[in-house]
Each structure stands twice: as structure tokens, then as C-alpha cells.
Amino acid sequence: MQPRSMRLLDTIALAFMFFDIVVAGQEGQDPRIRSLPPLSSPLNKTPLAVRPSRARLFSGVPDIVWTAVGNVSAVDSVAFSPDGQTLISGSGDNTIKIWRVADGVLVQTYNEESDFLYTAALSADGQFLGYGRTDGSVVMARMLQLQNHAPAAPTLLSPADNATLDALPTFQLKATDQDINPLKFKIELSQNNFQTVAKTYDGTQSVNGWNKASYANDETATFTVPIDDPISAGSYQWRASAFDGRDWSGVSETRSFTLQLVQPLVSTVSPNTVYQTTSRELRIGGVNFKAGLQVWLEKSGVPNLFGANVLLEGDRVITAQFNLANAVAGKWAVVVRNPDGQSGRLSDGFTVIAPCDLALQELSIVPAQNVADGQTVTAKAKLKNVATTDAVGTIEVTFEAWGQKVSVQHRGGLGAGEEVILSTPLKAKAGNDEELRGVADPANAVAESDENNNVVSLSLPVVSF
């Protein structure tokens, strides 16, 4: 057996035979590509060493990502695949092992050799694998094709077959994967024994309802039907499949359950945030709504606000008018009660915002005197929210002169008591009795308690020369 110092030189020599070497020059100079001796050169007799000039050494402990143990003898060489996804190691135990870089999982072992493997290197395109033997031979092989094994079909844990449920169901399932890949699941529901699929909850597309983004081998996955994507009462069949990042498993067994919703479920309200206004139509979504129901907004310490002109669309959508003129600002619950007395609520599902009060103040022009025709002057104004509540949304402010808009500016919201200085350049024109006007929120897009302070004006400077 050769001494390890000699084996190290063999490893370096073989790597150099596969690739050109970039040898660093003096600092400030370009590195040079140097050709290597042909394969027939007596590398074992003339050890090859590369010593970059003025090399910089770094000290300290490396930031180790993972450590894997899988060889029974010394690991003599490692090489990354071109895509950086796999790491190949060559060992004195006659094996070449392929590891997944992301988590250190051993993906595959090549153990057809009967002698020590001291080296392993990949071609730049990742198509070929080269390694050296102790008998002096060099092997060039096509890169091992990593075979992925699809995960096993999931095992369904709950609900039990033919279960009867009175609330939106929670499913539990698990699967195994030979390659120990992270798993995601897809659950399918049907109401006609899978002649068609009524609902799909695919964890590869959305994690909504899943308790985790992915699952380990044989780990239990839990999925609860989201309240914002519910299913109606009825009889269902369900099945599942697993995905390992490359392949889907087969489909699991099929189980059945019956959903007998007792209470209405409230999942959405649109719009869910409004200013205090005289009346506003709200659109309420959910499931198990019944004709003759009542709907109201509820907030602790204040009277309920009942909806009027209530209309029902199937069993999933309610529209109703609400008088919000005297509604207390803050969060409200949305409550629906069916004629049988069963009720459901969406806590803090609706928000009332008190109006703001935008004031445009201190309009000025600089310079205001001795202005020449065509001279550029600057118009300035202060926009302030004088209310104790924030102004949300986009606030538009226009400057008007000579019968037209000369500037339109936009501000993204203004906090309670907050102010901002707006300015715009103007070119002075000859003529008298012209007026500059500033207008805040000209389209009345922002709900305000007082709109009489949105306009300010002053005379334009007279062109004097």
C-alpha cells in the first residue's frame, strides 16, 4: 500500500490531468493558464506541486454546514457536480458515494470496484466521472445517473372511513420515501366516487391549511380545510398522493366521510375596511347560510348594527346594507344567525375607520415680486391631516392656474396630525388678475369629516418686466 503522502500527490496529479490549472501570479497580475504534461509523463517520479506566489492564508474555524458518515475507510477526494446540487466522494473502502448538498443525505453508492479508489473528479459538463486506482490505472466513466424513487402512496390516518363530521374536516396522513426526500401532499375530494374531483388541496401550490410546508419521511402531515376556502355539507370521498420534489407517488386508498354542518361558517367580508359613511353594502362569504337568516356587526360595549336588504346567493354568499354613519371606529365581528338559531361569527373581520380631515394651507409663490415673463417660480403649499385618525389610500393634490391644471401630485396616506410640504415649478405669464389654486382630494376619494378646507388660493405675481 502506498504511503498517504504519495496518494495525495496521485490525487492532485489526476485532477490536473482532467482540467487545466489556473496558477496565481503576483498580486495585480492576471493568472495564467498553463498546459499540463501529457498523460504519459512520469507523474509518480516527478511530483507536481503548485505554489501560488504570495498566497494569502486564512485562519479560523470553518462554518460547517453538515458532516456525514458513510465510508468505512479514509475519504481521499471530493468533487462537486457542476450544478452544485451533489457532492461525490472517493474512498479507500472501494466506493464512490454521491451526497445531496442541501442536507447531507447519501443518495447513491457505487461499489463495483475491487480495489482502493483514491481519486474522484467530474468533467466540467458533469457528464463524465474520473477516478484512479492503486494499480496505476485511470477510469473514465459516464456519470452515474441518479435514480429517484417515487415515494410510497400515502397512508390515510384520519378521519376514519365513513366518519360523520360536524365541522370543517381535519385530515392526517403520512408517507415514506426511499430516498429520504422532504415530502408534500395533495388531497383530493369527490362527491361521485372520483368520476370528477370536487376539490383539491395541493401542498406544492399553497401551504394554506397545512401545518407545515413539507414533511420528513414517515412524518404525520395535518391539513384543515381553510375557513376561507370551505366545503358545503354533504357526502365526500377523499384520497391523497405524495411528492418528493421530482416524482409523485401513486394514489392512496379512498375513504369516505359525511359533513353535517350545524352552524353557519363566516369566512370573508368585502370590503373589510371602510370609513364611516351613511350606508355601505357588504358582501359576506362562507358556507351553510340558510334563507331567513339575520346578519349583523357586533362590537363590545356598543349596539349591534343589523344588515338591511339582506339577499342570499345559494348557501355561500350574503349581501346586506349597513348604516355606518355613527359606527364606532375599530374592529367589529361579523355574525350570521340561521332561522334554526345556529350562528357563526368572523371575529374582528370588519374595520370601521373614522374620517380624516385634510387641510391645504399656506399657499405661497417664490419669488412673489419682480417676476419676468417666462420666469420660473415655485408654488408651495402645506398639506396637513388635522384629524386624530389616519388618512389612508392615495391623496391627490392639484395646482391650477390660467384655467388649467399645471401640476398633479400624489401622496400615499397621511398620519393623524402629519403634514407635508408640496411644491411645483411654474412659468410666469404676462397678465393680471390670475389666480393660483391648490386643491386637496379633488375627486373626494378620501372620506373626510370636513371638506371645506381642501382648497386654498392666491393671486399670481404680476409680471413686471
Q: Is the pLDDT of residue 40 over 70?
A: no
Of 288, 291, 275, 426, which is closest to residue 355 (Cα–Cα)?
A: 275
Position 209 pLDDT exceeds 70? yes
Do 58 and 18 share a structural domain? yes
CA distances from 385 to 20, 351, 415, 445 (A): 69, 20, 7, 15
Distance CA 398, CA 424 (A): 10
In this prediction, residue 23 carries a pLDDT of 32
Q: What is the DSSP string of 356-414?
A: B-EEEEEEEEES-SSBPTT-EEEEEEEEEE-SSS-EEEEEEEEEEETTEEEEEEEEEEE
- Assess whether 362 and 335 both reside in one domain: no
The whole-number pLDDT of residue 391 equals 84
Q: Are 362 and 445 within one domain?
A: yes
Does 147 reside within a domain? no
Q: Which pLDDT score, from 0 to 100, does residue 464 have?
A: 52
Q: In the chain, how many domains are there?
A: 4
Helix or strand holding residue 89 (H, E): strand 86-91
Q: Is residue 208 part of a domain?
A: yes
Residue 464 included in any domain: no
Domain contains 150: no
**How does DSSP classify residue 22?**
E
Does residue 8 register a pLDDT over 50?
no
Answer yes or no: do 226 and 337 share one domain. Answer: no
Domain final position from 304, 321, 353: 353
- Mark whether 249 and 134 lie in a shared domain: no
Does the structure show a pLDDT above 50 at 360? Answer: yes
Over residues 351-360, mean pLDDT: 87
Examine residue 465 and state whether it is found in any structural domain, yes or no: no
* Residue 189 near residue 199, CB atoms below 8 Å: yes
Considering the domain architecture, whether residues 273 and 340 belong to the same structural domain is answered as: yes
* 116 and 39 in a common domain: yes
Together in a domain, 274 and 241: no
- 243 and 332 share one domain: no
DSSP state of 292: T
Of residues 99 and 347, which shows the higher confidence score? 347
Mean pLDDT (whole number) for 187-198: 96
Check if the beta carbon of residue 244 is closer than 8 Å to that of residue 179. Answer: yes
Provide the mean pLDDT of the chain: 80
**Is the pTM value of this prediction over 0.75?**
no
Q: Which of 81, 109, 142 is the last residue of a domain?
A: 142
Least confident piece of the model among 64-68, 116-120, 405-409, 425-429: 116-120
We report the CATH number of the domain holding residue 400 as: 2.60.40.10
381, part of any domain: yes
51, 112: one domain: yes
**What was the pLDDT predicted at 242?**
97
Q: Are residues 312 and 441 in the same domain?
A: no
Q: Is residue 149 part of a domain?
A: no
Check whether 53 has a pLDDT greater than 60.
no
Among 332, 353, 374, the domain boundary falls at 353
Residue 67 is predicted with a pLDDT of 78
- Domain holding 231, by residue range, is 155-259
251-292 pLDDT, tens digit each: 999 999 999 988 899 999 999 988 887 789 999 999 999 999
Statement: residue 211 has pLDDT above 50: yes
If one counts every other C-beta atom within 10 angstroms of the C-beta of residue 147, the result is: 9
Q: Is residue 148 part of a domain?
A: no
Cβ proximity of 416 and 422 under 8 Å: no
101, 134: one domain: yes
